[in-house]
Amino acid sequence: MNPFVKRLVAHSKKEDKSGRFIKNGLLEIILFKIAILLALAIYGMYTDHVEQQKVKAYFVSIQHELEPAIKNGKIKNKEIDTLILQVTNCLKIITSPNKDSLAYLQENLGAFVKVPKQIFNFPATKELSSNGYISKIKNKETVKLLRKMQQELLNINEAHEYSMNRYLFSIEPFTNKHMNYVTISPKNEKDLFIEGGPKANYNNFHENMVLWNLLTQKLKEYKLQVIRQREFVLTLQDLKENIKQQVNK
């Protein structure tokens, strides 16, 4: 039993035969506890309100990130579709029995030496997560979409890092040894170089297993990148609509 209550009981037995004193004391204790609980409840409501306003402010910032990301994702997929076509042309030319077609190989090899930039960046979403506000979001579907978005972005970043490493350690050494980079560089980079230099012997590429494997792996990378980015854009669209509903509540 609480020491204070014990004293009240002892005092009541000696001084207050009617029990009025102990009743008043116990009532004061109950009222005091109710006041504390009420104050805690009000403070909790206030804290929750402040947190939800902060979450809503994050949602507004995230909205501004999603719109250009969706647009850029669609544009990037169209660019990669062109690169897929070029790599496919390279593989068809190499396997063609007509060796004269190898002269057109350099026109399509620009896709071979290109690593598309990773274009997605979400500072507001990252801040929301790092500051622990995802756990404050009450809409379960919003939380699910944010988690899905983070995982898909992680997959895209890891795939981009893998593509970059493959270029640095496999493709670039091969092109430096067997090709003239000026002739195969992307068209938008031609003005950066001086024309000329040694000519590559494209006839040697007809049965070059290394080039065949590198191009095949590059084609796979591009196709997987399109799939990942297409799914990512769909997730961003779903998240955009979901957050729009939360902001407009």
Nearest to 117 by CA among 81, 173, 183, 161: 161
CB atoms < 10 A from the CB of 15, how many? 8
Per-domain boundaries in the chain: 16-247
pLDDT above 70 covers a percentage of the chain that reads: 85
* Residue 150 to residue 146: CA distance in whole angstroms: 6
Calculate the alpha carbon distances from 152 to 45, 183, 221 in Å: 35, 36, 16
Q: pTM for the full model?
A: 0.77
- Walk along the chain (249 residues) in steps of 10 and give the mean pLDDT of each run: 56 53 68 74 71 88 93 92 94 81 81 85 91 88 94 93 94 92 82 86 85 95 94 96 87
Q: What is the pLDDT of residue 116?
A: 85
Only one residue has tokens 């560089």, namely 185
* Residue 120 to residue 69: CA distance in whole angstroms: 6
Structure tokens at 125: 């979403």
Q: What is the pLDDT of residue 43?
A: 66
Provide the phi-psi class of 208: left if phi over 0, else alpha when psi is between -120 and 50, else beta: beta
